[in-house]
Structure 1
């Protein structure tokens, strides 16, 4: 096939495999290449672009690893339907029936969220929406945030929740085909976000102190655009970074000249003190603190700190869309953080979540089920057979999240995630049911 017989409709900016992959990625995003479209052969594309077949083959490998294309033997290579859906995340919330007790959601207990009534009554100047030209962040809110921020941050932004922050950071830092290093396991919606961006996701296993330093160093032997981690109350494991492990990881990331994005999704209801690699790498750290679990998911608020150049780029990108996060909501959050009754309510919620978690972990241990991690509203339970465990619990009216959507690396053992923060009733009885499900399908039986 000669180069005059095909029309690509796209062209790379540079004659490299990455340049070709980026060009195809843009064509997919712009709709020039639709899902299911069959791509010309490697030899035909190489002839058209006057590049070597080896270069095109390497580009196709990049695209295949990121999920943008797939090869089906003699049927050829086609554009994959990567879409913008949340495939992994939807699996964690897939309802086959209505549960009497749904512990699959990962959301906070409504009863432990603060009451907004008094804060709303105390609002004065903020009751009238301001100008398009007002500063995007309420200055008094940033002053309060700085008081217990885990490092001296250069610049702050307020955005519409933690996932909004992660999406904005991904758009600013990650290009199609870039490698992004994440914890294994990690939050499914983050994996959906990175896959939709065309990133190559690299998982790093964890122990009870956080990411394993040796595995992270090995992952960073090849350049990466970002390392994304949860510094405390990690979802799903409940693991929090220790100061010594954080310093180790900071040294490895600093040597690799890569940006770290931290998702402190538990925020004020985490029992572990706030921690950040920004203490050692302030010029390379984006730190996100969510207020959804502590102050209410529908507030849709998260604070984000980082180097001025990156935060300013994110703010500029936001101006093309929503512009800013409601200053009225920011002032409500300010009241919740500064008024004594609301602050005490959050302290009570933090203590209560800790009590619920410890009670369930101790009760499971009595049945031979050991759970790692020590913080957050979720527990990550090892099971003999993931499907059998979920079916058994569902038959008892209990919903839990499957472990598979959280996995980045091949699983050595099945898991389920249980939102223990939602359990306010009898723990011993529930622990017995969960333990029975954990052993369901095992060879020895007996439970």
Structure 2
């Protein structure tokens, strides 16, 4: 236990918590290791037990240690086994006074479902297992609101399900896939599951950088996987000009002549940015995926994908051998939400609320010397001096954010944390910004 005390230079609660955090990060303290008792460590450091107890509370709030009652405190083991590897880094199961780690919409801003239930059929029936998977009225509405003319559209169980289905029809083990760096961690878990090699492409506020994209095409990728709006984690949105640039580069590429683009528009209805797609330049090579989870409710589990008929038909055929189709009852609910004037107004109000919350927090951070890019959607990408120290600092303030590491490819990157700014009320922006600014430094 003396070795733990020797690693602690600053003997305040924050200093003790930071030193223990570094020991865990470096592996000097491994998952399951027992920590010194509060009294023993207090005696070794020459501080009061209350000081060590405060540090232990901070580490527990950050998810680094856990208490087992009389058995003592231990370094927290890895999260639940059923959770994919990078998802584990986003485990938001711990309590916090203000949880900004989850990347989920504000439940209070989701449209109400109750008024629609009375209009649904009593029985969730279907006339045939071989019937067309999409209800016609939803299919026609999606086609009318798609960002470009499209040959075929089908409904899926959310965006990630759609991306998974497309990858299953396109890739072979060992293929390369271009992704933004940083990117959504489940994308990387999904690529790992298929034995694919992610190739990170640097980005700015308008999307993948053209020069970096052109260089990455030299690796002969099979797929380009990107987010068109409200990029998770940065909040960046692909500009029409950048989309056209990337499309032209791909069209001219000799090393990726058959690469397909998969576009994830996960926050479409609550995004304030224009609807963009590379399909305006290379329609025969683009699958556009749209989700309604952020805007209409994550538990609806519904999205859609559209693209060349040959590719979409393969997805439909493969799904018939598994889930079959997305519940037509849920499709009817979504169609109702997309056409009901009250529900449409609720989603429009949510979009404006998310925008105002983002602007308010950005303005407060700017007053404290942090220039957060304007961005879009519910997430923001905050640069910090040290990721683990920032997590510990914020946990001590009762705020939980997501670590940046799961979003990143490579080690030579600036530390960040992801903040779900969409759930920060305007009235709380000043207090939250003060805590974020202090942790960033």
Do they superpose with TM above 0.5? yes
Identify the residue that residue 363 of structure 2 maps to in structure 1.
362
Identify the residue that residue 151 of structure 2 maps to in structure 1.
154
Q: Deviations over 1:197-236 (max 9, x none)?
A: 1101100000111100111111111311100000111000
Conserved in 1, the CA contact under 8 Å of 2:231 and 2:237?
yes
Answer yes or no: is 1:178 the counterpart of 2:175.
yes
Where in structure 1 are there 5+ consecutive unaligned residues? 1-82, 440-447
Identify the residue that residue 318 of structure 1 maps to in structure 2.
319
Conserved in 2, the CA contact under 8 Å of 1:237 and 1:373?
no
TM-score norm. by structure 1 comes to 0.77
After superposition, the Cα gap between the structure-2 partners of 1:128 and 1:412, relative to the gap in structure 1 and judged at 3 Å, is: closer
Identify the residue that residue 92 of structure 1 maps to in structure 2.
90
**Mapping for residues 386-401 of structure 1, pairs under 5 Å:** 386-401=387-402
Aligned partner of residue 351 in structure 1, secondary structure = helix
Shift of 1:401: 0.2
Identify the residue that residue 431 of structure 1 maps to in structure 2.
433
User: Whole-Å Cα distance in 1 between the matches of residues 389 and 353 of structure 2?
Assistant: 31
Conserved in 2, the CA contact under 8 Å of 1:85 and 1:192?
no
Identify the residue that residue 254 of structure 1 maps to in structure 2.
251
User: Whole-Å Cα distance in 2 between the matches of residues 273 and 140 of structure 1?
Assistant: 25
Aligned partner of residue 166 in structure 1, secondary structure = helix
Answer yes or no: is 1:104 the counterpart of 2:105.
no
User: Whole-Å Cα distance in 1 between the matches of residues 137 and 409 of structure 2?
Assistant: 40
TM-score norm. by structure 2 comes to 0.78
Q: Please, which moves more after superposition, 214-223 or 346-355?
A: 214-223
User: Whole-Å Cα distance in 2 between the matches of residues 84 and 108 of structure 1?
Assistant: 24
**Mapping for residues 368-387 of structure 1, pairs under 5 Å:** 368-387=369-388
**Mapping for residues 15-164 of structure 1, pairs under 5 Å:** 86-93=84-91, 95=93, 97-124=94-121, 128-164=125-161
Equivalent pairs counted in the alignment come to: 356
Identify the residue that residue 14 of structure 1 maps to in structure 2.
none
List structure 1 segments (4+ residues) > 4 angstroms apart after TM superposition. Answer: 124-130
Where in structure 2 are there 5+ consecutive unaligned residues? 1-80
User: Whole-Å Cα distance in 2 between the matches of residues 401 and 124 of structure 1?
Assistant: 41
Answer yes or no: is 1:166 the counterpart of 2:163.
yes
Conserved in 1, the CA contact under 8 Å of 2:183 and 2:233?
yes
Aligned partner of residue 203 in structure 2, secondary structure = strand
User: Whole-Å Cα distance in 2 between the matches of residues 171 and 128 of structure 1?
Assistant: 29
After superposition, the Cα gap between the structure-2 partners of 1:94 and 1:342, relative to the gap in structure 1 and judged at 3 Å, is: closer
Shift of 1:409: 3.3
